[in-house]
Structure formats: C-alpha cells, structure tokens
A and B are shown apart, each in its own frame.
Chain A
C-alpha cells in the first residue's frame, strides 16, 4: 500500500484489494473472460453434437476410430496438470520460488504431453482416412478438439512466460495472484476437456 505519511511503499504478501467486490480487477476480468469462453465452447460442442455421425459412405465414423483407453490416459495426464498447477500457486504463496518453477515446468510438461497425444491421435485418424474435409463429422471433430488443443497450447505459452519471469526474478510473492490467474485459465481448459471427453468420446 502506498502510505502518504511514510512516502514509501509498504510491501505486503497478499495485497488487499480496495475494490467494491473485494476481488481484484484482474481476477474478476479473468472470471468474466472464462464465462465468455463457456459460450464459445458451447457453440462448438453443439456443432459437434449435430454433426456427430458422417453421412453414409463419407469416411469413418467415431465408433470406428476412437481409442478410448489411449484418450483416457491423455485425459488423465491433463487432469494431473491441474494438480501441479495448484501446487505451483501454493508454492509462490509460501514464497518458495524453487518449487514454483518446478511445478510450473511440471504443469507445462503434462500439458505438452496432452497436446502431443492429440497430435498423435490426429495423425492416426488421418492415416485411417479421416481428413479435415472428409465429412461433417471430421470437420466438427477436428474443429472442436483442435480448438481445445490451441487453448492448451496458449496455456503452455503462459506457463513458460511465468517461468521466464520467475527466473528473471520478476515474480515476487506479492505478485502471486498472477500465477493464480493463469491457474484459473488452466483449470478452465482442463474442465472443458472433461466435457469434451465425455461428449465426444464416451457418450455413444
């Protein structure tokens, strides 16, 4: 807080927020943005549900393609990254910058493993004759899951940026909320995947 009496800034570990809601502007902004993202994914998930099956004779359908054990494993990897993200936030709140960096790297790696799994899956489907333009199902499938993959990738870039900042010493404890806000985004992307996994892969 700036203290006019002292004329210098008094650092606090958890900045208090003099906002009407008590939530900082940035965090509230992120919540609102994520609310908006729900509708974006809602539109794409709806599209997938409408186009779940290709027309007769237009390439393979979901029941011939999906490898549910494989995708379950990569989904598990992505969900575990939420755990490491929580640990990263908790580390910086305790001022443990070494652990912060470790957990950020772990989260980014798990996220990358998920994206790698998606790339592998796409390649396998492509080899089985499912191009992006093959059928309405293929467009909807690649569109929805690819869109989610881009979101994970953006999250990884954010995590790496945090890591870089932390290494440069520009992520002190009193900025821990920045990590928390990236965490919000990350958890949201994970949560959306649970829906996508259920809707696309599990519900027949």
Chain B
C-alpha cells in the first residue's frame, strides 16, 4: 500500500527518465473496442468470458447437430467414421472446456466481487491474462479444423488410442496443447478468485454471511486449483509421447494405458463437480428471491457444497469399472459414489423446501431454476445407479451414459446458467430480457432437451453404443434416434430464440423505463448498486451485518414473523449520480500479449521449432514488461476525496493496486520465470540513494 501513491511523486518529480525499466506506460483505456483489449475490470472480463463461451457454444452446438443428423437414420452418410470421431471429440471438448467452465468463470468473475462487496478481484491483470489465455487456447484447439482435422480420441483421450500410431493427424496435438493453455488460464483464475474470496470481503462479511454463489465459486476454484495440475501432468506425458517419442503409453515398452485413465479421471471427476457447482450456486441465490423466503438451511447448502468438493476426489474410478481395476477398488469406489449422492440430495431437498410455503412467482429465471432441479434430479438418479458396478458394466459405453451426463450437464449446469442469464441480465447490461420470450425460451428448451436426451435412456438400455458413427436397421434404434434428432433441432431453436431475445429486448428497452438497481426485489449485495454496474462497483463500500444483508435493509419482521417493509428500495440502493472519485487499477497491454505468445509456442511444437522461440520470447517479454510497468497511471482516477475507506477487514482500493503490482509472482511461476513482480516505480530517487 505504500506503493500506491508513489506515481504522484514521480509525475511531479523526475518522471520516467529516472526509471529506465518503467518505460512501459500503462494504457489509459478510454471508450471503444480498445478498452476491452486492455481492460482489467472484472466486469468486462466476465462479460468477455460469457460472450466467448456463447460463441464456442454455437460451434459445439453445430457439432452436436452434425452428430444428430448423422444418426437420423441407419447407415447415415453425412459424416465418415473419421469425421464422426473428430466431431464428437470436439463437441465434448468444446462443451466442457470452452463452454460450461468459462460460463462458470463468467459468472464468478462478474458476480463474486459484487456479492462480497469488493472493488475488483485480487489480481486484476492476472484476471485479464486468464481470460485471454482461455480464449487463445480455445481458438488454438478449434484452428485444428483448418490444419488437418480435429482431435479424434474422445474428450477423455484414452491411451494408447491417443498415440501417434493410432492417431497420426495433428488433431490430438491441438487438443493437448490447447487444453494445456486453457489449463494455465484456469489455474491462474483459480488462484485469483480464491484469494479474492478469502481476502477481499467487505467489512462484516464473514464467510458464513457470503451468498451461496460465492461459496460455490470458492469450492469450484479450489477444485480447479487441485484438479487442473493432475490433467496437466497427464498432458505432459501425452505431449512427450506424441512429440518426443517418450514411452509413457507405449505398450511395447511397458507403458500402461490405465495410468492415463487414472490421471485423467482424478482430474475428470472433480471437473464434473466444478462444472455443476456454479449453477447450484446461482439457483441457491435465485430461488429465495422468487419464493420470497430465505434459503432453507443455508449452512446445509454451503457445507453440502463443500462436502461435494471433498468427496469429488474419491470417486474417480467409477468411470473405470470395466477397465479391470480389481474387486476391492470397484467396491470402494462404488460405495464412495453412493455416498456422494447424499450431499447432492441435501441440496435438492433444501431447494424444494425453500419453495414450499413461499410466494412463488414463475418468472423466466425461476422457471429455469425449477428446470434445473427437476432435470438434475433425473440425471442424478440415473447417475447413482451407475455406482452399482454390475449395472454400470451393462450401461457403460452405451447411450444410457450419454443421457445421464447430458441430464446433469445440460439439464443441470446449463439450465442454471440460463436462469442466471435471465436473472442477471439487467444488472450487467441495464435492461431486462423480455419475459414472454423468456418463458417461451424455457419451454422450448425444456421440451427440446427432454426430446433429445430422454430417448437416449431407451437407446442405451437397448444396447446402442456411444461413439459409433452409425447403426444398422432392425435393432429398434430408428424411432428413438429420429426423436432425439428432432429434439436436438428444437433445442437449437431455443438457443436461437435466446439470442433473438437479447437483441429484441435491447431494442425494446429504449422505450421502457430503466429496470433500476433492484428489479427483482432481491436479497444479495450486487442488487444494491446501480444497473448496469458502475465501473467502481460500490461507493461507499457497504458494511454487512447478516446474511442477505440487502434484503434486511428493505424488510423487517413483526413479532409474529410476518415480513414488513422498513425502507423503500430507492433509499437503500446506491446511486450512480454525483462524483465518484474511486481509485481503480489501470488497464494493461501485457496480459493480452503474454497470452498471445502461448498458442504460438503450441504451433511451434506441432509444426516448426522456431515458432516456439518466438512465442516463448513474446510471453516471457510480456511477463517482464508486466512486472516492470508502473503500478498505476498517475493521472487516472485520482480525485481528492477518498471518502470511502472501509472500516476494517476489507480491501480498500489501495490494496488492489498494491496486490496487482506484485502480480508478476503468480504469473511468473507459471513456468515462464518472470521476475518476482516488483513493479516499476517502487522506489523514488531518495530511496535509490539510501540503498545504492
């Protein structure tokens, strides 16, 4: 914090000539698209995560439609077997790594700092880097379509099928290197968001007063923090095998394919939970609003989430019941899998109990949340049957599994995200999405979803295999496949309706009154501030006294427990009017530049070595420039009045800048070895004399 004001001295003193390393002036941002490239604002980064994820969602959706079109009738000829392998692999990879995970990151980035009353995340520049690295990795993976074809080994990329012998094209290299890059993004993001939750809560906001979404974000990011490196280790082995002829999965040299399976699923099962928990968090915050009741059993909801986070590490081998892991392992993992259904069941129960006796209003966010509860319950029930190993050996590799995980990931996670989109749209963009279209959107999606994935249960029980590009007539598969394909196109039209709604409502919003800070009469802190959220979030930073603090600023209870309004919403929300002299971290070029180097290294590893050097130099150079650039722009956002210092225990804006100035440490540790993050202007002339 001592650093924060040194730029003031420098600007009036010797200026940049006295600090040769500090030549990298920070960009000033400004309006237009350039401000998005250099932004370190968690809200803009959150929006970019969401927009990029939706773009990838369309790509992954087209791949899904290709799969369903191919399976419309027996002996389909739309795709060859090889193309089909590529399409289903890339569909899975895209939906998991480039859609569901980043939408979770989008909500976490945008909402979590608002829910805990913070000005930004702990390391704003690392946050920008995480996004750009994610985007770079996603584009890198998808560029494989134009450079020899996509990966074809399934999203789990089992060995030895993933070795050069069985997959000689570069598709798997793109998959591998691209996911290493998005892994760096997830890891830096996880460090950033965990530190933010643990360190930067507003005064009075203890852990047990945090909204459930923030709790689930914390659990999710811890899962990422520990799961991603396991995948990274496995991917290094694959990288060395494919690109440097190592013997990790070379069966002729004693390489064990089972090792890949273990490493992949030790990552892969926590991955499942880190995809669903953000949606659980959203639902837990939305349901109470539209039931006008507090969440039932807040502590239970929170700790069942934490329990899922812990137990998620002990169930990975249920993906491997047919891999020959031995009866003891099968027994242990069967039992563990049965137990993990308990905390999940607790959540379902709590959500239901939240609605019981509440004044329910069936708005579109609420519909999507109820959709999640019902659809996830179906997916969860079919999931828990897989814990019975003999049943699982019958169902594994059939469409029954495909049905199960789409019910939890689409019916669970994605329905929750849709609810989140409808609920938070006014907060983020300043206008409400049209309710009628929203409800139509829900029903279309609900019908399309069940029409697509419901029949897959039947197909699976009839014995239709996954990952096979076609099927013969006469096994009874035709009818159910046709139904699923029709469903997939209904589902696609519901997404089109959502996108239409975005633009339609934006046009219509011009003639409608502004939604105001709190259009839904909500409970959590983010609804206390103007919509769309001002750049500085809160001014002043609120002091929190209890769970759902904002709600209890509006409502009190009579002696017999009835709700009474004690303050008008306008009186307890903050206003964007007037002067807000809040010191915010300056934008920076370097996160973007550092991220751009990564895919160049990737292309170098695949095609020609000298590109590695160029990419490595770009990234390393950017990390040094990052660490050495001035912490702050001396002229930006410095008003006279810092009237909003929180009382205690929070992170005033000074901390933001200080923390970020040291951010080089975290980034440097990514293996690039940038220096320890001392930033450019830490020392004035006076200090040089004393130390030199």
Interface on A for B, CB 8 Å cutoff?
A: 1-2, 4, 8-12, 15-21, 23-26, 28-30, 32-33, 35-44, 46-47, 50-51, 54-55, 58, 97, 132-136, 138-140, 143, 147, 150-151, 153-155, 157-158, 161-162, 164-166, 168-172, 174-175, 177-179, 181-182, 185
Contacts and interface: CB of A to CB of B under 8 A. Distances in A.
Given A9-B6, A36-B229, A139-B248, A26 B654 contact: no
A25 B233 contact: no
Interface string B243-263: 011111010011110010001
B253 A185 contact: no
B655 A9 contact: no
A97 B649 contact: no
Nearest to A35: B225
Contacts of B687: 169, 172
A135 B253 contact: yes
A19 B200 contact: yes
Nearest to A17: B655
Contact of A36 (B225, B240, B253, B658): B225
B673 A158 contact: yes
Contacts of B198: 19-21, 28
Nearest to B126: A29
Interface in B191-211: 191-192, 194-195, 198-201
B233 A47 contact: yes
A2 B233 contact: no
Contacts of B5: 2, 8-9
Interface string B355-374: 00000000000000000000
B226 interface: yes
A141 B432 CA distance: 58
Contacts of A154: 668-669, 671-673
B391 interface: no
B662 A150 contact: no
A170 B687 CA distance: 8
B123 A29 contact: yes
Interface residues of B, number: 79
Nearest to A58: B253
Given A36-B190, A135-B253, A169-B687, A29 B666 contact: yes
A2 B654 contact: yes
A42 B229 CA distance: 9
Contacts of B254: 51, 54-55, 58, 135-136
13 contacts: A2-B4, A11-B2, A15-B2, A25-B123, A26-B662, A28-B195, A29-B195, A30-B666, A132-B244, A132-B246, A135-B253, A170-B21, A170-B683
B674 A2 contact: no
Nearest to B662: A26
A29 B192 contact: yes
B676 A136 contact: no
A116 B691 CA distance: 33
B646 to A, nearest CB: 8
B233 A44 contact: yes
Given A20-B649, A136-B253, A153 B195 contact: no
B104 interface: no
B428 interface: no
Contacts of A42: 230, 233
B65 interface: no
A163 B120 CA distance: 32
Most buried by B among A15, A33, A38: A33
B236 interface: yes
B195 A165 contact: no
B2 A143 contact: no
A13 B658 CA distance: 15
B682 interface: yes
A172 B229 contact: no
